[in-house]
Structure 1
């Protein structure tokens, strides 16, 4: 019996650490504690912890870098997201299905973020919005995409619901595709660029004001903008 319990310990530990990561206790890109110190803190052997971390690495939740340590992945389940991206490339009309899902997901995330965001969430959202505003004032397209996606992930994390955080993180590659589409050929001084900046500002302000209904409405307006640009791209 003791051997059976010992064999299950890494699995139990992996599940415990997975829940902590998905709950946001460890942020994307964060370096996890050294194995020796962490094992002592958790009251387990280094071997059990090492095996548990190996399981998380296989699931794409952590990245192990030789000589540097173990880090929380900033793209959990990237393999699944890559599969979806390839499917969308083969069947472009499925973009409409994804937009429909984004409308539901992001409106609800914005609503819950307005209700639940604590001071650390609000500070992160303010910083992310400032980064979005600065990025869209320039012409660096990759920086714009990174800032935009980081802003949406911060909103998801502010829901304090790990399922929303996980869904948005898992869909990160797909969100990148949609952000690229929504800002393609967008000149910094164009009416559409100003409209996009205003949409992000409105969304951030409604969350900051703790206005759930207003935040959800602002999120839907943003998705409507993306939908319109996608439809025009299909027609061209």
Structure 2
């Protein structure tokens, strides 16, 4: 018979499974510091030796990393999603921006559709809270903060779709966006008219989600990213025109 004696699970393995689950679900994020050993052992209800055993196993698996004198952190497992050479290639070619936005439009449209159906009330409350912060930043005319909140808003939708593969893939993509590999998002928020349009688009996305209307949520995301694509193309065109104008000015000055 194929049956084996059931053995009780070691406490350290239960801790490993819990931390793995938190990393998989995106609750614990890359670079996030774990509580101190004493506090964490108390929260988990296990002895410190059991906790140390679990931490050591997670470090060996590459999910946690120790920083000298600073504690234990979630490893930057997303850093390997794209090689440094590929990241440089993205940054050097403008067509990567259009492809990136097209990719986002498809994936985030699907995520919004899923979130409208599958998100919990807490998920929707998180999205609403971020939009409220965006409203406040908008009233303060803080384009840098608006750009940061913009990324958080979109990631919250990905998280609310409850697809862990999509979550980690898109988090890697947003890390590149925050680093300015594709384009400088803050530039878009400097124009008052553009900022107003972007805020209204985020309101429309949120409205579709809060109403649990998958079609409306997806269409709002697609309309938003189509606008971003157009605005980014116009910004790039404007920068090219400015570069040519400066060359003409310099030439005219040298002619004296």
Q: 1:155 aligns with which of 154, 157, 176?
A: 157
Aligned 1:75-114 pairs, distance under 5 A: 76-80=77-81, 83=84, 84-114=86-116
Contact in 2 for aligned 1:39/1:49 (Cα 8 Å): no
Aligned equivalents of 2:169, 2:106: Cα separation in 1: 12
After the TM superposition, which residues 28-177 of structure 1 pair with which residues of structure 2 at under 5 Å, given as runs? 29=32, 31-32=34-35, 34=37, 36-37=41-42, 41=46, 45-55=50-60, 58=62, 62=64, 64-66=66-68, 69-72=71-74, 76-80=77-81, 83=84, 84-176=86-178, 177=180
Q: CA RMSD in A?
A: 3.4
Q: Give ranges in structure 1 of 5+ residues lacking alignment.
A: 1-9
2:249 is aligned to: none
Asked if structure 2 preserves the Cα contact closer than 8 Å seen for 1:182 and 1:226, the reply is no
Question: Any idea what the Cα deviations from partners look like across 1:185-205, whole Å, max 9, x if unmatched?
Answer: 5446x3222111100010011
Number of matched pairs = 222
Choose the corresponding residue for 1:184, options 182, 187, 194.
Answer: 187
For residues 64 and 139 of structure 2, the distance between their equivalents in structure 1, rounded to whole angstroms, comes to: 34
Counterpart position of 1:219:
221
Aligned mates of 2:183, 2:97 — CA distance in 1: 13
CA contact (8 A) 2:118 2:162 kept: yes
Equivalent position of 1:231 in the other structure: 233
Q: Is the 8 A contact 1:131 1:147 kept in 2?
A: yes
Higher relative CO (Cα under 8 Å, sequence separation at least 6) belongs to 1
The verdict on how the C-alpha distance between 1:80 and 1:206 changes in structure 2, with shifts beyond 3 A counting, is same
Between 1:214-223 and 1:168-177, the stretch displaced more is 168-177
Q: Structure 2: how far apart are the matches of 1:106 and 1:99?
A: 10
Report the structure number with the largest CA radius of gyration.
2
Check whether the contact 1:182–1:230 (CA below 8 A) recurs between aligned residues. Answer: no
Deviation of residue 120 (structure 1)?
1.3
* 1:149–1:179 CA contact under 8 A, matched in 2: no
Tell me how far 1:132 sits from its aligned partner: 1.6
Rounded to whole Å, the distance in 1 between the matches of 2:154 and 2:111 is 9
